[in-house]
């Protein structure tokens, strides 16, 4: 059905945050929004999630306007409601309010039924020294891979 798989990632998320838990949520979208996402014209790099009246919304997620739409086109930076079970929503809201954690989008994809899904992560912000450790680990892994490649 869907030849080109849409898989939009938030690359900075794992660098800036320590991911504690992951959830897959549906997104409530307008018709022109899903068409733009299917063309791969969306971004979640600067986005985050917040609770409003017990419901979870993704904020600052950019979905480009659909090129073939008329005056019924959508707003690119509007808040979009995330669809989760009530039990999951209550658990997330409790953890965010009590522990001071945050919810960030990690990956936007289209599932095999053609629906847009967002993988969100319950995250704790990293300190500067944690980020330095991440950079050191990444560089040492690259060095090891280079050395292995030279000997093979």
Per-residue pLDDT tens digits for 56-112: 898 888 888 777 666 666 666 778 888 999 999 888 888 888 887 889 999 999 888
Whole-structure pTM value: 0.76
Q: Which fold has domain 7-126?
A: Small Protein B; Chain: A; (2.40.280)
- Please give the mean pLDDT across all residues of the chain: 84
Whether the CA torsion 78, 120, 55, 109 is positive or negative: it is positive
**Nearest one of 12, 22, 32 to 117, comparing CA atoms:** 22
Per the document, the length of the chain is: 152
CA–CA distance, 54 with 135 (Å, rounded to integer): 37
Contact 118, 37 (CB under 8 A): no
Under the banding of pLDDT at 50, 70 and 90, the label for residue 126 is confident
């Amino acid at each position: 059905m869907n030849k080109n798989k849409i898989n939009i990632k938030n690359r900075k998320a794992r660098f800036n945050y320590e991911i504690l838990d992951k959830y897959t949520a549906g997104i409530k979208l307008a018709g022109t929004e899903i068409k733009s996402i299917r063309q791969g014209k969306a971004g979640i790099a600067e986005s985050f999630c917040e609770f409003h009246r017990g419901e979870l919304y993704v904020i600052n997620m950019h979905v480009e306007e659909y090129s073939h739409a008329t005056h019924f086109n959508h707003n690119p930076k509007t808040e979009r409601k995330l669809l989760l079970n009530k039990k999951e929503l209550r658990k997330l809201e409790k953890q965010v309010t009590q522990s001071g954690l945050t919810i960030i989008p990690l990956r936007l994809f289209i599932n095999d039924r053609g629906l847009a899904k967002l993988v969100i992560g319950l995250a704790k912000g990293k300190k500067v020294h944690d980020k330095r450790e991440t950079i050191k680990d990444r560089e040492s892994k690259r060095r090891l891979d280079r050395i292995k490649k030279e000997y093979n």
